[in-house]
A and B are shown apart, each in its own frame.
Chain A
Amino acid sequence: MIQITELQKRYGDVTAVEDVSFEARPGEIFGLLGPNGAGKSTTLGCISGLLKPSKGSVTVLGMDAQLEPTKVKSRLGLVPQELALYEDLSAQENLEFFGAAWGLGGARLRDRVSEVLDRIGLEDRRRDRVTTFSGGMKRRLNFACGLVHEPDVLLLDEPTVGVDPQSRVKLLDLVREEAERGRTVLYTTHYMEEAESLCDRLAIVDRGRVIACGTLQELSTQLAERELVRLGGHFDVAAIRSLLPQVPEWAEAEIVQVTTEHLVLAKGEASRKLPSLFSALANSGAVVRETVLTRPSLESLFIKLTGKELRE
């Protein structure tokens, strides 16, 4: 189990993480979803001991990461965002070194190395140097190095970035398997679909803060089953703001975003009420060139919460 309480990390005047609190439980895949630079990796760095928090506490399996760093580290497995492999060593040598670095030795180390090589599908390439591997193979080995010592808590920092679809499926299966074995998995990503399909619970992070947290179901209810209507064209911002409350079917719609070129609205059963919206917009002088209707999803929630798309 991981418990983060009011975590803060500052670099001089810059605050990378501010007042972050969440809890990840055993057997659960807990996702940290947010755009690049949101503070996900910094949070993971504070948990893994790479970074020292400026404020707040990190507890792993009941142990304070600040007070008992070695004990905590011995129970953690880290898969960093960037590859972290010895390119001049073979797959087996990498696994042996990182296994030994986490305290494994002798027959147990040999068994675990063989087991994870088999699981990631690199058994036949065990003696080959990492430099000869493809990007996907390196990613799988990078993943294996984080779990060779059978950690109780697995920290995965965007492990599928730049991975081919085949390796991606393989990696996500491995993550699910690890969770099924009772491990606590903390998974950071900026892929909505990945978070939706993989994570049991999620914290949405933006600009160093957790802006929403809960199961997928809980987060969806925050949207109140509302659909998202995204319109592209030309809009008079002031006119839109004054017009919408006067349109009977759209009086309770939420204006998520409005600029001269975009209008984003959140509304239940919006698809059925589009004609009245187009009619009102036409009367106000707006020009609509593009309409996108999105059913409730993490993406629409993220847009609702932050006013911007995840990949911006």
Chain B
Amino acid sequence: MRPILQAAWKDLQRHRRDPLSLILWLAIPACIGTLISLAFGGGSSPASSPRPQLLLAESDESLLGSILAGAGNGGAPLDVERTSIEEGRRRINNGEASALLILPPNLARAFLDGEPANLELITNPAQRILPQMVEESLEMLLELAFYADQLFGESLRDLDLEPQAGQWVLPDLRVAALSVEVNQVLEGLRQVLLPPRLQVEFVPAPTAEEDAEHQATFLSIMLPGFLLMALLFMAQGLSEDLWKEREWGVLARVTSAPLGIRNLLAGKGLASLCVMGLAASFVMLLATYVLGQEFAHPFWATLWSTLTGLALLALFMPLQLLGRTRQGANMITSCVLIPLFLLGGSLFPLESMPDFIAVLSGWTPNGYALVHLRALISGTSGPAQLFLPTLVLIALICIGFGLAGVLLPRFVRRK
């Protein structure tokens, strides 16, 4: 064991002298994660979809204008803000809203009398989807208005909808009568529009806090993937160290030492385990204390990540030794690294992958490890469930390092 520890200590000293590589291995996935997060509007808070902003301008304050203005607060997928025509034009010219709707004077009367009226909708040319959402929402409102006219047009026409001194003044009795009428009509239609074929269960809406708790954050989905991505890069980088030692001639010298080349390899594995453990711990601590992420089993998650890193190193080691040149070896490892990087769930969440790709991902070492890491982080599985997966990783490590041990002496002798 002492020779292995000596070899490991030597590598740890070397890693201590080259902190930039370690930082880069962690920084690359962090940069990729940040870019993806920004691109998809993610962050540590639940993602929210953008809403179109509609500016509503009218020369007189009509009831229809008020109904439209209230639509934004009544569940319509747009935010409506009342403004003056001049202010609305200025803001839409500055690109500060998705669309501006200008209502003509006496719109309500024209609507009830069935007379034509022109509604002017000015959209923001800098946006594409949001103005379209405004147009579709308005079309829906117009259809709703058509059916309301068909059902309650007569009663509405009897109402005096013109404001008096800037306010609508309707007698209580007329409002009550109209309400009763609307209710009766809707009750009559209920049998037709809402046949009792569906059992409706009323569930209380969750509070904002409950909603935030249950909704998976971008960080919680992507963090395990980014950690394994960092370990993937580290594994490739650390495996390349064999070439450096070969070029420096030290592998040949160690071959003639009682320490032996295989102990050197084992020491390299041990040193890499320490470095990867350190990196995994750093990421977990950062996520916990800086980003506020909670982990169900932080210790086991760190241990599992570290072991995964060593398994990835064991995968890359023999591949490095197969190359005839350092560039050739880099090509070979890159041919393995890139598919693992793309398929292993680090870049794209497993949930967003097509089913067959997701299955394929589960067969990659990092994809396999990711599933278990996420389960450990979320608490859906614990250390007890890790027994068999750990055996799988240990088997991978043994096979990888065993192969490297066989190939290494030839690698040293090769000219």
Contact = CB atoms under 8 A, between A and B. Distances in A.
Contacts of A88: 14, 17-18
B3 interface: yes
B255 interface: yes
A89 interface: yes
Contacts of A101: 3, 6-7, 254, 257-259
B250 A84 contact: yes
Contacts, number: 69
A84 B249 contact: yes
B252 A100 contact: no
B256 interface: yes
Interface residues of A, number: 28
A64 interface: no
Given A93-B10, A129-B17, A85 B258 contact: no
A80 B255 contact: no
A82 B249 contact: yes
A105 B413 CA distance: 29
A80 B10 CA distance: 20
A105 B253 CA distance: 19
B257 to A, nearest CB: 4
B13 interface: yes
A218 B259 CA distance: 41
B344 to A, nearest CB: 31
A78 B245 CA distance: 17
Nearest to A93: B13
A76 B258 CA distance: 9
A145 B245 CA distance: 16
Nearest to B254: A101
B289 interface: no
B258 A70 contact: yes
Interface string A88-114: 110001000110111101000000000
Given A80-B249, A86-B10, A102 B17 contact: no
A101 B8 CA distance: 12
B412 interface: yes
A78 B253 contact: yes
A226 B252 CA distance: 43
A84 B256 CA distance: 12
Contacts of A50: 252, 255-256, 412-413
Interface string A113-129: 00000000000000001
Given A85-B249, A88-B14, 13 more contacts: A49-B255, A50-B255, A51-B413, A70-B258, A82-B249, A83-B248, A83-B249, A84-B250, A89-B13, A93-B10, A93-B13, A101-B3, A101-B6
Interface of B: 2-3, 6-7, 10, 13-14, 17-18, 245, 248-250, 252-260, 412-413
